[in-house]
Chain A
Amino acid sequence: MRQRSIGGIVRPKGWHNVLMRGSLFLVLGLFCLYYLFPLIVMASTSLKSLAEIREGTLLSLPRAITFEAWGKAWDSACVGVRCDGLKPFMWNSVAMAVPAVLLSTTLGAINGYALTKWRFPGADWIFAMILFGAFIPFQVILLPMARTLGQLGLAGTVTGLILVHTVYGLAFTTLFFRNFFVGVSDGILQAAKVDGAGFFRIFFQIVLPMSIPAIVVTVIWQFTQIWNDFLFGVAFTIGDSNPVTVALNNVVNTSTGVKEYNVDMAAAIIAALPTMLVYVVAGAWFVRGLSAGAVKG
């Protein structure tokens, strides 16, 4: 696969082309370094002991690598008054992000499918209004949402947070899927209708398998948004039901004398790991979906 994708490119030869390519890679390398630098500093600090941090500079690499800070961040750092590390809050985030991503993606897919392929009077209007939802800033919905959650008896719970993220994400997921389905030929759906399939059979057996690229993009987007969200987490949960982003903030702000930079850095990386995992796993699916010619009629 990799061999073939490079072999297929025809490019000119000659010394000035080599020079051009060389300088191109130099510039790209510099950009790479610029973006990676904070991560490198974080990773190296998290592997140092407190003593070493105090002696050395920010940029120096760890002399003796220790995972002490990682262990502490995971299960014994103090978050407010509770000293169990980030562990319980990681599970809160997982329990929130996974259902919220699945729900908002599924509903968005059905919305997009109905809006493009089963057109009904007023479909454009409804789409315009859903789209409007994508432009509403977080802050605007804080108070009404808090009130709604209170009425529903979901205030301060992970379930409530799932509801908030699902509803808020719907505008984006609908937009993604609608734009994808607009490009799917109507002929395929007509053929399926003649073949005797109805709304949901066409959706699950014909349309959904074609939309893997759209699903992957939506899942990555939604997972990143929901996992990294801080504002909704802080506003709608309390103490034990906090997502990891809020807990991370509390770890950093809970000071008992000395500032433990290594623990803070390790905690930050731990909190960010799941999103990276989703990029890698879903990214592989994305490429596979594209190269399987999924959209080719």
Chain B
Amino acid sequence: MASGIRLSKLRKTFGSTEVIKGVDLTIEPGEFVVLVGPSGCGKSTLLNLIAGLETVTSGEVRIGEALVNDTPPRDRDIAMVFQSYALYPTKTVHENITFGMQTRRIPHEAQQAALKEFSKLLQIDHLLARKPGQLSGGQRQRVAMGRALVRKPEVFLFDEPLSNLDAKLRISMRTEIKKLHQRLGKTVVYVTHDQIEAMTLASRIAVMDNGHIRQFGPPGEIYEHPVDLFVAGFMGSPPMNMLPGRLRRRDGSLVFEPHGAEAELHFPLPSEISDRLDAREGAELVLGMRPEAIFAAGTELPGPNRFVFEKTVEVVEPTGPDTMIVFSIGETELIARVRPEDAREAGTRFRFEVDLSKAKIFDAKSGQSL
């Protein structure tokens, strides 16, 4: 049985700068939680607090039922993969991986079995006799993974464990981690900058910004229903298009009028959205549309709440399966995701179709989803 983690009103200050500003987070036993957020927002610090490598300024850290604020790392039954690898430079790969088991006096045969299992899984079984200085970045990272995995503790903390691997290895390691999690059923807190890693691995994603948790929920919810502009802009690649504008009434129904756009370009809002916004006519809003909600006119089956408009293609960016088309409305650049065969050269006029039932409306000032 794995242990859950509960953080309540957690704060951490370094000198006079507050880095973690009151975090509440309840992670169920056996859950796979992915922490995402911009560089410097406090992800590593949060992991260190859970691991016991930093002291808590105020608030509580609980692992299982126990309050562990004053428990040293060695007694927390955790394993951690560090962002900087932190391998022991004078020890061989073999010794690096088994050190934690040695200090815990695990029988020799069990150590060897675990070493064998995970070095094979991580494809480092041919490197066991080397020192970390003789390894490439990706190999070091896998050794660091191995060192954490062999001990099978209650809680795993991963700080960007795959960031240095090549694309192919990363995908296969991702799958291995997911399989491993399903097999071992331990609680995992995982930091990554990779959107796909976050979406595929997480049972829930916590989006952090500047020491706060902005949103905590299943990947689908984070993607489809971001609570504010920050989360909307952070998740998704390319990010959600954010079109600033104003709510207007035309011919009796509410429309969204982008700033700086020609008069005829106003997006009719679907009734689910406009019902909620009835009283806010004239308000400053931001219309959020994922790139995949904008496509070449007529290429998808017709549906409700579609709106077609014509714009000039500015930049064409093929990615393989899809092609991104950059265009502008007013001052804002937008990206549409079209099938490669529908793409046109830069400079030509293009008929776009947008599915407004997938659009999101945010308050321009507070950034909150409406």
Q: Are B90 and A294 in contact (CB under 8 A)?
A: yes
Report A253-297 residues with CB < 8 Å from chain B CB.
Answer: 292-297
Cβ-based interface call for B78 (8 A): yes
Q: Which residues of A contact B151 (CB under 8 A)?
A: 195
Q: Which A residues are in CB contact (< 8 Å) with B110? A: none
Please determine whether A293 and B100 come into contact, CB atoms closer than 8 angstroms.
no
* Contact residues of A between 16 and 73, Cβ < 8 Å to B: none
Residue among A196, A198, A296 making CB contact with B89, cutoff 8 Å: A296
Cα(A284)–Cα(B51), bound, Å: 41
Alpha-carbon separation in the docked complex, A174 to B360 (Å): 62
Which chain A residue has the least Cβ–Cβ distance from B74? A196
Instruction: Tell which of A108-116, A129-137, A139-147, A183-191 binds the partner.
Output: A183-191
Q: Which of A192, A194, A196, A297 has its CB near the most chain B CB atoms (within 10 A)?
A: A194
* Stretch from B80-88, B178-186, B189-197, B332-340 that touches the partner: B80-88
Residues of B within 8 A of A193 (CB): 52-53, 72-74
In contact, A191 and B80 (Cβ under 8 angstroms): yes
Q: Total number of A-B contacts with CB less than 8 angstroms?
A: 79
Partner of A194, one of B73, B84, B134: B73
Please indicate which of the listed interface residues B84, B89, B133 has the most CB atoms of chain A within 10 Å of its own CB.
B89
Whether A210 contacts B103 in the complex (CB less than 8 A), given A194-B53, A194-B73, comes out as no
Evaluate whether A188 and B79 lie within 8 angstroms (CB atoms) in the complex, with A194-B74, A198-B74 already known: no
Q: Does A80 count as interface, using CB distance less than 8 angstroms?
A: no
Q: How far is the CB of A71 from chain B (nearest CB, A)?
A: 46
Let me know if B307 is at the binding interface, CB within 8 A: no
Which of A194, A198, A206 is within 8 Å of B88, CB to CB? A206
How far is B151's CA from A129's CA once the two chains are assembled, in angstroms? 43
Contact A297 to B73, CB < 8 A, known contacts A190-B53, A194-B80: no
- Scan B123-134; emit 1 where CB is below 8 A from any A CB, else 0: 000000001111
Contact with B along A196-220 (1 / 0, CB 8 A): 1110010001100110000000000
Range for the number of chain B residues in contact with chain A: 20 to 34
Closest chain B residue, CB of each to CB of A197: B103
Q: Are B86 and A297 in contact (CB under 8 A)?
A: yes
Whether the pair A293, B88 counts as a contact (CB closer than 8 A) is no
A188–B90 Cα distance when bound, in Å, is 11
- B residues 109-147 in Cβ contact with A at 8 Å: 131-134, 147
Contact, CB under 8 Å: B99 / A195: yes
Contact with B along A81-114 (1 / 0, CB 8 A): 0000000000000000000000000000000000
Tell me, in angstroms, the Cα distance from A51 to B78 when the chains sit together: 81
Looking at the assembled complex, report how far the CB atom of B105 sits from the nearest CB atom of chain A, in whole angstroms. 9
Q: How far is the CB of A120 from chain B (nearest CB, A)?
A: 12
Q: Which chain A positions have C-beta within 8 A of B82? A: 187, 190-191
Contact yes or no, B84 A192, CB < 8 A: no
Say yes or no: is B168 at the interface (Cβ < 8 Å to chain A).
no
How far does the alpha carbon of A204 sit from the alpha carbon of B115 in the complex, in Å?
23
Do A293 and B89 touch (CB < 8 A)? Answer: yes
Closest Cβ of chain B: how far from A205's Cβ, in Å? Answer: 8
Q: Tell me if B104 counts as interface (CB < 8 A to partner A).
A: yes
Q: Cβ of B73: which chain A residues have Cβ within 8 Å of it?
A: 190, 193-194
A112–B72 Cα gap in the complex (Å)?
22
User: Interface residues, chain B, CB within 8 Å of chain A?
Assistant: 48, 51-53, 72-74, 78-80, 82, 84-91, 99-100, 103-104, 131-134, 147, 151
Q: What are 20 pairs between A and B in contact, CB < 8 Å? A: A187-B85, A188-B87, A191-B86, A193-B74, A194-B51, A195-B103, A195-B147, A196-B103, A196-B104, A197-B99, A197-B103, A201-B103, A206-B88, A206-B91, A210-B89, A292-B90, A292-B131, A293-B131, A294-B89, A295-B89
Residues of chain A touching chain B, judged by Cβ–Cβ distance below 8 Å, are 185, 187-188, 190-198, 201, 205-206, 209-210, 292-297
Top 6 closest pairs, chain A to chain B, by CB: A187-B86, A195-B100, A293-B133, A209-B90, A196-B103, A191-B86
